Amino acid sequence: MLSLFARRTTAPDPALWSPSGTVVGQRYRNTLGPAEGAITLVYTSASDRSSAYAAACLGCTYRAARNTHRVRLTEKEAADLANTHAAQCRAINQGVPAAPHDTDAARIVRSRLQDLRPHGVSPYQVHLADFLTDRVGLQRDDDFIREVMFEIARTESDFLKAAPAYSGTGTMFLIQPRPPRK
């Protein structure tokens, strides 16, 4: 029998939530304003825990995965940025964002690939760390990202190519340069 006073959790607690495919190492709560402050996460990819980190606020649009020199963030750099952001952000706690439908999540992956598309003649090798800033909105693991990239490579080989990884195991994805302007 159910108790009349049983509490049901309808949404994950943002202070404990981790986007799918990530490991959250640190959380900062903003303290400005009268309402409960938003949480800024410091996280990395669950499959590659030491190469790159990102920071993302759950109350506003703040995202960071590269420093001013366009280099991927270390954990300390991401933590410093998250702490600085949390100290200045006035956003209230918005809770955990709703997970997008698979079609919308695939659009997020494609959009990131389009943003990474190089000018010139050399292709760009895609890394899962390239999707760190998207993980809060994407809420998908590495396998989903790879599946979307395989489908794009299958249907749009002039945009994205799949090739055997240099190591001999796995697949690498290469974004083809933009076509020259006529």
Question: Which residue, 161, 156, 158, is CA-closest to 173?
Answer: 161
pLDDT surpasses 80 at 6:
no
pLDDT surpasses 70 at 28:
yes
Amino acid (1-letter code) at residue 8: R
pLDDT surpasses 70 at 2:
no
82 and 111 co-located in one domain: no
**Domain end call among 65, 88, 111:** 88
**72-111 tens-digit pLDDT:** 999 999 999 999 999 998 888 888 899 999 999 999 999 9
Domain around 65: 22-88
Report if residue 112 sits inside a domain: yes
Give how many domains the chain has, as a whole number: 2
Report if residue 118 sits inside a domain: yes
80 and 119 co-located in one domain: no
134 and 170 co-located in one domain: yes
84 and 120 co-located in one domain: no
Q: What is the band of 56 on the pLDDT scale with cuts at 50, 70, 90?
A: very high
**112-153 tens-digit pLDDT:** 999 999 998 999 999 988 999 999 999 999 999 999 999 999
Report if residue 95 sits inside a domain: no
**Domain end call among 66, 88, 110:** 88
Please state, in angstroms and rounded to a whole number, the distance separating the CA atoms of residues 81 and 84.
Answer: 5
Report if residue 132 sits inside a domain: yes
Report if residue 126 sits inside a domain: yes
pLDDT attached to residue 146? 95
pLDDT attached to residue 104? 97
Report if residue 37 sits inside a domain: yes
Q: What is the band of 11 on the pLDDT scale with cuts at 50, 70, 90?
A: low
Please state, in angstroms and rounded to a whole number, the distance separating the CA atoms of residues 111 and 1.
Answer: 49
Q: 38 with 59: CB under 8 angstroms?
A: yes
Give the chain's mean pLDDT: 88
Q: In what order do the strands lie in the sheet with 160-164?
A: 124-126, 171-175, 160-164
81 and 115 co-located in one domain: no
80 and 137 co-located in one domain: no
